[in-house]
Amino acid sequence: WKAVADSVIWDWKMPASSSSSQYGSILPGLIMSYDDLPPYLRCCFVYCSIFPKDHEIKRELLIMQWVAHGLVEEKEGVGVEVTANQYIEDLRRRCLIETHRSDRGTCVKLHDILHDLASYVGGKEYSHAFATEQTRHLSLLGQANAEAAMKYNASGAANKVRTILLSASLPLVELINFKRLRVLSLMKCRIDELSNSIECLSLLKYLDLRWSEVRRLPRSIGRLYNLQTLDLSDSDIEELPVEMVELCNLRYLGMERTVCLKFMAEGLGKLTNLWTLHKFLVCNDNGGCNIRELENLNKLKGKLLIEGLGGGRVKAIDAEKAQLKEKHELNVVELVFEVDDNVSEHRSLLEALEPPHGIERLRICDYEGDTPAWYLDTTNYMELRTLQLRCCPLLATVIGINCLENLEVNICPTLCELPSMPSLKSLKVNGCNGLKTLANMPILESLEVVECGSLEHVAEMPALMSLRVDRCNMLKTLANMSALELLTLIQCRSLKQVAEVLALRPLVLV
């Protein structure tokens, strides 16, 4: 401690031009914290300065950028994402980064003074405008003169950069001068198709096309043999070409909310290094993906949405070969069927697509069969926290899963029973005209019931704080709900009795 107290670092001051120069008294301590980091953490911390101040960095995408630059140590038997997550936790415990949850998942953020420190350490290797010979990482996110800067950089000034992060409104420039790129973000760029010159980026490992207008990928995409991350989430992508099968090192294929996607070419099952595949679209016609291609994708983790089930294009035997049950690292499974009249086909497909037993969230949509055998065995799904059922006309009951915390049931007209669930905290029921009564849910906090025309009685729920009942014309009584704080009743014309509600504050009657 004497060596710390006598260190000349306490005389150091942030340059006056920095927005954090007023924090001069604490900067030496932060520098000592930085100096105390092992080398691999220093590099990861400094890299965060490539993002603008106050920017919320999606955790998993930051990890993939670190990996693309070789900043994460590869350990035998340990996935790089596991190691990278440990890096984030180490930086958080040292108070060098902040983490918080948002609608987009877990995000990482630097305090302004720490951003200035990281920028100072990064020096000329990091730029937020015009690149020089020393620039290795270039970000134009949020820059007013971004278009002019990019045209200048594309002329050859930035030919040694390893990272380019472009801002929302920039048109795409030719990429031929950026042959050393490892990370390229074209998020929100105004392009509907990538240039074939993308094949020049043979070292590229990370390509971000989120929220872009890209509708299709060029055939040359298959020449990016080193590509590890391809994120198309929230983009206008309409199809994935057959050349995707050449991306043998691909680990992350982001497909969240790709509502325009109509076709995925066959061969995706050969990408056995994939550990994130948000969406799988079954399209057997004209060389499209067969569901059995999931068979060898055993590294998948996180969320998987399977669309295009039914419609005569999927056979139960192929669904069995997908071995969905064996994908033990998945924690969210969503199964979306196509509406048709083949009830037995739906039943056999859902029977074959038994989810892995460790999932935390399950969503089933447009399913027209009856209850599969695995659905009746509540002992298998002890980690299930959220269940969502939508447009399942033949499901007459929801099994009482003890660990379930959130339940949403929409447009299931034959549903007549909702048993008591001891862990349930949130319940939403909409368009279930066969439901006559709601059982006691001992710790339920939020209840929303809409257009349940046969519902007559809501049982006592001692922990309920928010209740909304909308267009339930047969509802006659509400039992005692002593903790209720918010009550909304809309067009409940038969309601005759509301028991004592001690904590009630807002009340809305329509």
Q: Which domains does the chain have, with CATH numbers?
A: 1-121 (1.10.10.10), 124-261 (3.80.10.10)
CA angle 248, 250, 251 (to 5 degrees): 135
Residue-level pLDDT, tens digit, the chain, 510 residues:
455 455 555 455 555 555 444 455 566 667 778 888 999 999 999 999 999 998 899 999 999 999 999 999 988 888 898 999 999 999 999 989 999 887 778 899 998 889 988 988 898 999 887 778 888 998 888 776 666 667 666 666 677 889 999 876 665 666 777 889 999 998 888 888 888 888 989 999 999 999 999 999 999 999 999 999 999 999 999 999 999 999 999 999 999 999 999 999 999 999 999 999 999 999 866 778 999 999 999 999 999 999 999 877 788 899 999 999 999 999 999 999 987 767 778 889 999 999 999 999 999 999 998 888 887 677 788 899 999 999 999 888 888 788 999 999 999 999 888 888 899 999 999 999 999 888 889 999 999 999 998 988 888 888 999 999 999 988 888 877 888 888 888 888 888 766 665 556 655 555
Angle between helices 112-122 and 27-35 (to 10 degrees): 60
What the block records as the tokens of 261 is 């996607």
Between CA 31 and CA 288 the distance in angstroms is: 55
* CB-based contact 308:283 (threshold 8 Å): yes
Assess contact for 186 and 165: CB atoms under 8 A. Answer: no
Query: b/e map of 365-384 (b: 16 or more CB within 10 Å)?
Result: bbbbbbbbebbeeeebbeeb
Measure the CA–CA gap between 82 and 86, rounded to whole angstroms.
6
| Cβ proximity of 51 and 141 under 8 Å | yes
Dihedral sign, Cα of residue 393, residue 398, residue 403, residue 406:
positive
Residue with tokens 């009942």: 469
Quick one: DSSP state of residue 510? -
Task: Please name the residues in contact with 265: beta carbons below 8 A apart, sequence gap of 6 or more.
Answer: 239, 240, 241, 242, 244, 245, 287, 288, 289
**Distance (Å, rounded) from C-alpha 466 to C-alpha 446?**
5
Residue matched to tokens 């995000």: 107
Q: Which helix (H) or strand (E) holds 330?
A: strand 330-337
